[in-house]
Amino acid sequence: MTPAHNAAAGKTDAPLDEMTRRVARAAVRALWQELALYPKPGLVSLHDAGAHDDMNADTFIRSLFALSRFFGDIAKAGATGAAFETLRVLGIRAERAMLTATRGVNTHRGAIFALGLLCAAVARTVAAREAPSDGMLRKVLLAQWGADLASLRPAAGSASHGAQAEHRHGATGARGEALHGFPSVFEVALPALREALARGCDIRHAKLSAFFALLAHVDDTNVLHRGGASGLAFVRRVAREFRASGDVYSPDALMRAEAIHRAFIARQLSPGGCADLLAAALFVHHVQHMLR
């Protein structure tokens, strides 16, 4: 792999830089598309703040601007086969920039982790002159950083929602997803998204189908933190009922989804883990079309 910077010549590797910029733009676009989706039960959108009183769309937009450069840095590190520790340090820097921009509100910590790893995997795959297919991205991710992911554990005494949910409920959250090559992205969200698009749905309905597929499947640590096991059971039940009643293909799909949104707000349920996985699926969808 040609290094990103040739010290002797003092020249930047333009193809690498352009590729990693495109990957970073795809990551930010995916986060924007996730934010813009409405109705999205319990979550912040351009329409309302969902089940949150500490953040709104403006908070997320400030975070997006702060994160834009870091996805490029992570992609460039991934392209050159950087060690997991390098990716981790870049991720910590991104989190700090996010928290500064949002005045301490955690808008995108899970997304930084998931999209950061996928940015690195995409860049590594393309740098190796391979197509970023589902199978190849998962293979590269696990071959390159799987051993480090397997040894990753929440810091002792961590107050994060994910760490608490893992301790109380055995849900491994974002770490478990990454360790298994993001099965909820590649085996749940992307198939639902692709099926909806293939059946003629617009992108809004396709994103909604992918989101409800995730709600029906994922042990969302944010839901477990706010609602416990009963909250998670409620989320899964209503999501499965939505899908069984026609999913996004029925004429009243948006009305039913909005009613579920209100029910989540009433119960203070916010499936932020599913939101991160939806953004990850949208990112993969974008890069597969952009870099093919």
Q: For residue 279, what pLDDT is reported?
A: 98
Low-confidence stretches of the chain (pLDDT beneath 50): 1-12, 156, 158, 167, 169-170
| Intra-chain end-to-end CA distance of the chain, in Å | 20
What's the half-sphere exposure (Cβ side, CA atoms, 13 Å) at 138? 14
CA distance 135 to 274: 21
Q: For residue 160, what pLDDT is reported?
A: 54
**Could you tell me which of 190, 198, 180, 201 has the C-alpha nearest to residue 251?**
201
Q: For residue 162, what pLDDT is reported?
A: 53
Which tokens is 67 given?
Answer: 């994160």
- Across the chain, the runs of DSSP E, i.e. the strands, are 5-6, 11-12
User: Are 101 and 63 in contact, with CB atoms under 8 Å apart?
Assistant: yes
CA distance 52 to 269: 9
Q: For residue 153, what pLDDT is reported?
A: 72
Domain range enclosing 284: 5-290
**Could you tell me which of 234, 280, 288 has the C-alpha nearest to residue 117?**
280
CA distance 204 to 197: 10
Backbone angles phi, psi at 82, to 5 degrees: -60, 155
Q: How many domains are there within the chain?
A: 1
Is residue 263 exposed (0-12), middle (13-18) or buried (19+ Cβ within 10 Å)?
middle
**Could you tell me which of 154, 183, 162 has the C-alpha nearest to residue 277?**
183
pTM: 0.90
Q: For residue 221, what pLDDT is reported?
A: 94
Q: For residue 167, what pLDDT is reported?
A: 46
